[in-house]
Structure 1
């Protein structure tokens, strides 16, 4: 991870209250007079990582991070009540007004990229540019690829898929699998619940990198993060991410003028290459960069390096455009 900038302290943090029972953890860092960039984490439910700030030049960017509803340091933790895509989009609009920002860059990977695209479609005037990684378009085919026993991920990582379905059994239908996992992760049997959480997170972790730093991908995992990640992902995927089928591509005209960089690992098994290619074909002001020796995770050195370079290039482009 030598491509990253040095560790960066936050300038300010606060809890931002919604009007429906949630309190969102928000932090800012970098240059308050720099280019505002909102960093949207993945999952849903992953919360902000420790290193996300290091992807940006702190002299050029005013870096904004927010733990989405039920995630990270936001409260109530792992709450599914009033937790839909529409709620998250409302939170993004509220945060921008709270910080008195007219326009910002949207940055996100995986679900964070999905949410960034939907936020731009929801409020295109507020978006200067986007830098996105690991494209998930929230279509039925994307759910199928990730969760079905006949999907691409299961066909490549067959032995890991068998471990994935152990707590709930085999299901022919993706919706039935999501329902079974949802019941397991919301039941009163803590042992069964945690087995489901570990299996769900283990599946995603095992297929997200080309190489793992240790044998068991959950050996050193944060249990707090695993609970919100597994439960929130299941909740959103069970409800088709609370968006209509092919919503992003069907509304891409709203953001076709916004400049964007799309970064995709060649061997991304969580979010298939076709999604990134389809997005780039329908978004004329975007540029697709394929990282040849990487999978899905932003913690892979080649992905991290590509993100740092993309953020540097976007800052230069925006500064030049404003002259």
Structure 2
């Protein structure tokens, strides 16, 4: 299953939010179709036309959104007025702006899954369904797995050592904080070098296997710097969430009526699969699909197939307006 081909967007624009940000969005597919919003990863990722390939253009109205400070949104990269509550509120502002009564589907992976869950908990009455993959709830346990002493760092020791060794010995006690200082300093060369190494670690553990093409993105400064800056910005601020906030009983209760499809690579080294299992057990209307031969990226064949199938299954359902 290669996915769906979409024509050029039938609409695009920039939505002013806050005092400095203008969010870039694009609409594809059927103008009066079932609305789906695509929430990209990161923080610091962005959307591209290929993200529409999961959605049947004869059924879906597909909205791509570049989050604050990334992609074609302006200004970028920008960390001012850029917090998790801001991003959640932006999704709702876009829905209102586009006069969409209710999202048929909210789709997100990795950091996008975080935003999808937070949005569903904040605005449960306007979410028809969720498709989320590579589950990330920002808990301390997940962060420790990603960059702590026990977790992915023990499985990819050579890649993590390279990440650590970019910093001088006296700065290695606070990797995220000292990378952040470099990523936000005034010296352009320092920022670019830090971004390359920050993102190299991400890419090293992002898929089941890597090859020479995996790291080509590191040469794209327009991707590398915003991605690293925003990801570090959110990390040093604990994502502006309490530890375990998404998984609290009161918050989960708000979204228990929403059908949720969870797709998780069994060997995801970025977002440990334990959290997908916990989320599935906590949501009675959820379906968990394990991908036995996949890591984190949705580009891996098994994950991609199941994402396409999930969106096709939901396309024929009716969640009301």
TM-score > 0.5 by shorter chain: yes
Q: TM-score if structure 1 supplies the norm length?
A: 0.94
Mapped partners of 2:199, 2:24: distance in 1: 23
**Cα distance change on mapping 1:209 and 1:221 into 2, 3 Å:** farther
Instruction: Decide which of 176, 181, 202 is 1:183's aligned counterpart.
Output: 181
Q: In the TM superposition, what is the alpha-carbon distance from 1:191 to its structure 2 partner? A: 2.3
Mapped partners of 1:263, 1:99: distance in 2: 29
- Which residue of 1 is the match for residue 243 of structure 2? 245
**Cα distance change on mapping 1:6 and 1:144 into 2, 3 Å:** same
Q: TM-score if structure 2 supplies the norm length?
A: 0.94
Mapped partners of 2:114, 2:184: distance in 1: 25
Mapped partners of 1:7, 1:220: distance in 2: 28
- Which residue of 1 is the match for residue 5 of structure 2? 6
Mapped partners of 1:274, 1:65: distance in 2: 29
Alpha carbons 2:44, 2:70 under 8 Å: kept: yes
- Which residue of 2 is the match for residue 315 of structure 1? 315
Mapped partners of 2:28, 2:43: distance in 1: 23
- Which residue of 2 is the match for residue 257 of structure 1? 257
**Cα distance change on mapping 1:49 and 1:210 into 2, 3 Å:** farther
- Which residue of 2 is the match for residue 290 of structure 1? 290
Mapped partners of 2:193, 2:2: distance in 1: 36
Alpha carbons 2:69, 2:76 under 8 Å: kept: yes
Mapped partners of 1:12, 1:50: distance in 2: 13
Mapped partners of 1:152, 1:115: distance in 2: 24
- Which residue of 2 is the match for residue 57 of structure 1? 56
**Cα distance change on mapping 1:15 and 1:112 into 2, 3 Å:** same
- Which residue of 1 is the match for residue 216 of structure 2? 218
4+ residue runs of structure 1 moved beyond 6 angstroms?
Answer: none
Q: In the TM superposition, what is the alpha-carbon distance from 1:55 to its structure 2 partner? A: 1.0
Write the mapping of 1:1-323 to structure 2, written as runs, cut at 5 A.
Answer: 2-104=1-103, 105-148=105-148, 150-169=149-168, 176-214=174-212, 217-218=215-216, 221-250=219-248, 251-316=251-316, 318-319=317-318
Where structure 1 has 5 or more consecutive residues not aligned to the other structure, the ranges are none
Where structure 2 has 5 or more consecutive residues not aligned to the other structure, the ranges are none
* CA displacement, residues 96-119 of structure 1 (integer Å, 9 cap, x when unaligned): 100111110110000000001001
Alpha carbons 1:167, 1:192 under 8 Å: kept: no
Root-mean-square deviation (CA, aligned residues, Å) is 1.6
Q: In the TM superposition, what is the alpha-carbon distance from 1:232 to its structure 2 partner? A: 0.5
Mapped partners of 1:43, 1:169: distance in 2: 26
Mapped partners of 1:172, 1:188: distance in 2: 21
